[in-house]
Amino acid sequence: MTRWTDERIPLWVPPVEGEALDSWIEAYARRLAVSGGEFTRFLGLSGTDPRFMVRRLTNAERDTLARRTGLTPDALAAMTLDRFDGVTVAIDPDDRSMGRPPAWRHYGSRSRFCPACLADNHGRWPLSWRLPWSFACVRHGLLLCDYCPACGHPPPVSTRGRSRPSSPGVCLHATETGRAIRCGYPLAQSPAPVLRPDGMVIAAQLAVSRDILDASVAEEARTRGQELYVLARRALRGIHELPAAPSVVTAILDDCGGTLPALAVRDEASDAHNTAVGTAVAVIATDRSHPACDEVFAWLLSTHRPRVPRSNYATSKISEWLPAGPRVVNRMLSAADSELTFIARLRYGTATPAPAWPDRSDEDVRDRASKLPAMIWPSWAFRLLPVKTDAPVAGFRRACASLMLLPGTNWDYLPAASLMGNTSPKSNRRALDAAVTLSGAETLVAVLPELAKALDSHHVPIDYARRRRLFSPDSVAFDHNAYQELCRRHGWRSHAPIRIQRLYWQLARLLLGADPGAASRTPAGHVSFHYRLHPGLHELLHQQAAANLEAHGIDEPVFWEPPPAWVTDPSLPPGPETINGRRLTQHAAGGPEPAELARLLGLDDARLLLAVETFGTTAPRPVQQRPPAPGRRTPRQGVLAPQSLKQLYQEQQLLQHHIAELAGCSISTVRRALDEAGIPIRQRRPVGHLEKTVSRTWLQKEYHDKGRSSPDIARELGVHKNDMMRLMRKWGIPRHPTGQFTNPFASLGTDLSPAMHAVSRTKNCIQRLRHLTVTSRHRTLQDAAAELGVTWGTLNYQLKRIEETAGFTIIGTGRSRPLTITEDGRRFLDEVTRLLSLLDDSTAPRPVRPHASLHSSVSDRPPGSGQPGRGLPAPQAEQHGAHARSCREDEVETVRYRLPAADSNGSGQPEGNHAPEGRRH
């Protein structure tokens, strides 16, 4: 109360505790012997209505009441329903009308009442009686009344107009004969059912007051109210529909007078009797400490939601209960765990302590995918992998990573696997199914949802989605100089293509946290290579991985795994942290076979490899020290003879790898031959020499415009392909698009027509064009197919693909009718004949490398002529048959150097075609 001012009414009527604003205004009016309407006009609030003021006060109304009565604005606001708006009532912000409340159909525009309280308080009405969750008086143990027993209407709290002053505690409802004549029934004499002090109705009212009416957090109050409301409605319907109710429900009915709740036409009635019965049952069903909790909850689950088709599937039945809120749904999901499929158990987390209905958006799924590698981390695979399984470990890990996107979402397995880049989901699922069949799915359905929730709530220092976009074995950068220095330090062969290829693969694997590609099995060679990896190479790979991240401006650790503390499930199997790291290092130092090391550590082979990957400990074989060689006893012959080697290396200025190709040996053999012949090694090309040798414009024209391959350009410039690719990346020259092939006619130096330029960038274009020229000489496709040894369908398929790419018809075809060549086709065939002739003339024999004999034994004939691939569909048959030719064309591609002529001593003399300037090693 404020200090007394000149504007304040000299007579003070204080409100009682918890009183509603309109009740206090009416009591003030009675004290002044006027009606409520006359009192508000006297205060200066003409045109206002206490029925709207009790809902929410305007600024003018609040200021006027505070100024004229001395009550503070906060005290006035506490006497209105404004603080319950959105929680138990719904007040329109514009006209203060009452909308449908969140629970029940008691809008708050009228008030229930307790007869005993009206008698004790001289007709003063508490605000809480207007709330739909008020149904019992805990002070007097009575069920609240909704209507006047005399007139059958809800009794008004205040009077309006210029009527006579009201009497306290009587019904103020205006009769039908006139608004001035009121019912006048003494409400304190209204009959009300007496409730047991220790009964469930009084306990339910206390629980509702604590959790909803007096809750400090509005969101928690709304959630609890929605939960109790849905369960209460089901209880009221179940009392009428189900044959038998639990004994505690019967006791609640007896406590409320022994009568069944009334059913409304479209909804359960919302009077105090119905609200009390339904709420008391709902409170028991959600009180896990109550002995009848499970019985009542199971009884409620047997009820059916009206106007919703029944379903026998567990999740469809549970979806009917979604309005009840997460606690009820989660409890039902736990109960339905045994009825669900493996995927459904993962999606809802029914085997975890906190199952939940899916609530994650597609954006949440993509965010979780960015926190996951394509294969689940090795330490977690160690925990989840069954003890005895023949399933591919890589496929199992890929399947687990894909399944991690399912908990809490509506995603299916195939889209999740595709998002993770696991584009062979069927083989990965087979690996997973094999593991699940052997050991059951309990560990997976208990751990994966928990780990997924932990990923959503924790920060992960690696963006795996970005790494999947950036890195692959073809895109990672590897410092060959550092590798060669390491090879020299340990006496290894530096030119070992298989080892370098595996190093690239392992480097990409380290960055991706998973095997590159989508295979369900890690290649055996890569597994063995990683297991035997030398510590120096292991350190080099980590340094190169960090350098790749730094080159892209990425500040992330190279490797990271979630700690086991993220999952608190006590059934989580132990991980690699239980292995004695020192013991593992000691046993691995001798380079034992994987099976022997696994036996020493008490592990199976799969878990041993996962532990090796986790700890970074490998088992390279000890280096066998060999006595120094006394020197070569057999003199070098042919290309590697001292005189021939001197002419090729010093006079023709060939690079070492070119000489290795001519001799059919490795670069290290050439290096040893140079040392033995006493030929000094040329100095390395200075830094930036390649950029000074060629221009960006020339390189872009040759590679991008003409469509030449990077190895072809590199051979012309006398450099390695990797040097060429680094220069292209430096200058920002885009690589050939996926599915576009290099132009085989680019090196001929001749202009191509637009149609030929398009055809030359397609797959197997040389073979197809040769078949096209043969076809043009025959009367029918069948005759041409017979000469070429292919099926009619294959030849027709090739012709259609060429015509689609060229954009016009070349040969009019038919199965039996004569072939006709169009005008455009004739010009195109003339160009084909000319280009193939030039290509054949420019091709010179190239010394065959030792492994080339494998390709040379493959026939160059097209598919269908006694080769593998006959009988396949046209596209597959063409690809299968073209493999041999593509391999041979790669192997016999011309290197424009000449061998020295052999003399009687087996050496050679140089003959023409010196290497261009700038090709110095």
What is the residue extent of each domain of the chain? 21-189, 200-326, 350-462, 470-568+580-615, 638-677, 689-736, 755-891
Tokens of 158: 């205040």
Cα 661 to Cα 496, 672, 847, 899, distances in angstroms: 14, 15, 7, 11
Report how far residue 493's alpha carbon sits from residue 497's, in angstroms, rounded to the nearest whole number: 10
CA 484 to centroid of chain Cα atoms: 41
Which residues of the chain are under the pLDDT cut of 50? 265, 844-921
DSSP H or E segment with residue 820: strand 820-821
Report how far residue 157's alpha carbon sits from residue 166's, in angstroms, rounded to the nearest whole number: 10
Using DSSP's 3-state secondary structure scheme, residue 133 falls into coil
Convert 91-128 to b/e letters by CB count within 10 Å (16 or more is b): beeeebebeebebbbbbbebbbbbbbbbbebebbbbbb
What is the CATH number assigned to the segment(s) 755-891? 1.10.10.10
Tokens of 100: 């449908």
Rg (CA), the chain: 44
Smallest CA-to-CA distance from 274 within 238, 227, 245 is with 238
Report how far residue 558's alpha carbon sits from residue 482's, in angstroms, rounded to the nearest whole number: 19
First-to-last alpha carbon distance for the chain, in angstroms, is 98
**What 8-state DSSP symbol labels residue 912?**
S
**What 8-state DSSP symbol labels residue 136?**
E
Give the pLDDT of residue 266: 52
Smallest CA-to-CA distance from 183 within 201, 204, 206, 163 is with 163
Q: Which residues contact 885 (CB under 8 A, 6 or more apart)?
A: 764, 766, 767, 860
Render pLDDT for 508-554 as a digit per residue (tens, 0 to 9): 999 999 999 888 889 989 999 999 999 999 999 999 999 999 999 99
DSSP H or E segment with residue 181: strand 178-182
DSSP H or E segment with residue 548: helix 535-551
Quick check: 212 and 87 in contact, CB under 8 A?
A: yes
Angle formed by the axes of helices 21-31 and 36-43, to 10°?
Answer: 90
CA 872 to centroid of chain Cα atoms: 38
Quick check: 836 and 887 in contact, CB under 8 A?
A: no
H helices present in 458-534, as ranges: 464-470, 480-490, 497-512, 524-531
Contacts 24+ apart (CB under 8 A), 247-253: 247/292, 248/200, 248/281, 248/284, 248/292, 248/295, 248/296, 249/281, 249/296, 249/299, 251/199, 251/200, 252/199, 252/200, 252/201, 252/276, 252/277, 252/280, 252/281, 253/277
Q: Kindly report the number of other CB atoms within 10 A of residue 597's CB atom.
A: 23
